[in-house]
Structures are given as C-alpha cells and as structure tokens.
Amino acid sequence: MDTQIQRQIINNLQGLYSYELKEVLNFVVFLHYRQTLTQTPKINKLKKQNEYALGSISGRLGVSDDNRYVIYPTLGATEVHCQVDETQLIKTLDLAVGQYITVTGKLTYLANHHHPEQVEVHEIEIHPDKKELPTLGSFAGIAPDATGNASTNKFIQNIRNEWR
C-alpha cells in the first residue's frame, strides 16, 4: 500500500479521537500486511462519565410514551426526563401535567451534552396559567399617588435628570 495512503488513513484514525485526550500512547496499525508505528493520543476513558449539578429546569410538563414525566423546556433540550421518588411529589406532578412548571433538583448531563437529560426532582413549582396572569392594562391606575403632586410627564423628567 502506498505510503501517502497509509498516512491519510492514520490521520483519519487520529481525527476520530475527541478533544479530551490527555495521554499519548504508541499503537500499531496494520495496513495491507505492513506495520506502521505512529504516535497517537490515548483516551483516558472511552466513555466520559455523566456530570451532575444541582439546578432547576422550567417548561411544560408532559408524560412520555413510556409513562415517565417529561419536561419540555422553552429553551435548550427538547425534553428532560423527571425521576421522582417521593409520593407527595408524584401527586403534585399528576396535577401539573400540561402546565408550565419549574422543578429543582439534581440535573444529569450526558457526556459532551450542554443540556440536562434528566432531573431528580426535589421541589416543584407550578406556575399560573397565562389566563390567570395580569395584563399590562390591568396595572393602569393601581398607584394613583405614586408621582405625588407632580404630573406624570414632570415625574418622568425628574427621574431622567436625577443623575445631574
């Protein structure tokens, strides 16, 4: 086999290793009954371990095909599986299916993933439905004496010029 082809194959094999390589080892590649010795990075662990962190995740709560609770976050991961052990938390989750929630607990990140795959639920906060939230218009007139005796325009002008 041509030396240039051997080099190309070796370079391609070296490219298969991830950026997390820390040690170097000699290895032998057998190509067409010929032996080529080269230096290549060694992987400390073939499979990187999962990472864990305490945190929270918000999204709409649903149930997956395998009857597990799943959070569908607004941003990030497409879904985060919930692991729940306490009976009281399970009852709360049953009531919250279809609603927007925030759960706090131990997040599990798979190797080389930026978003959690699973959360071990410790706390649940069920957020009110959009229909229950106040509108911007509902805030009009709730604090009629907020500006004191000044007109609204004068009050805003004073705030803007406060730094002088």
21 backbone φψ class: left, alpha, beta (φ>0; ψ -120 to 50): beta
Using alpha carbons only, give the angle 134, 135, 137 rounded to the nearest 5 degrees. 125
What Cα–Cα distance (Å) separates residue 164 from each residue in 80, 149, 153, 159?
Answer: 50, 22, 18, 10
112 pLDDT tier (thresholds 50, 70, 90): confident
> Hey, which of 57-61, 65-69, 127-131 has the most confident mean pLDDT?
57-61
pTM of the shown model:
0.57
Domains belonging to the chain, first-starting first, are 3-42 (no CATH), 51-132 (2.40.50.140)
Q: Which of the residue ranges 58-67, 76-85, 135-144 would you say has the lowest mean pLDDT?
A: 135-144
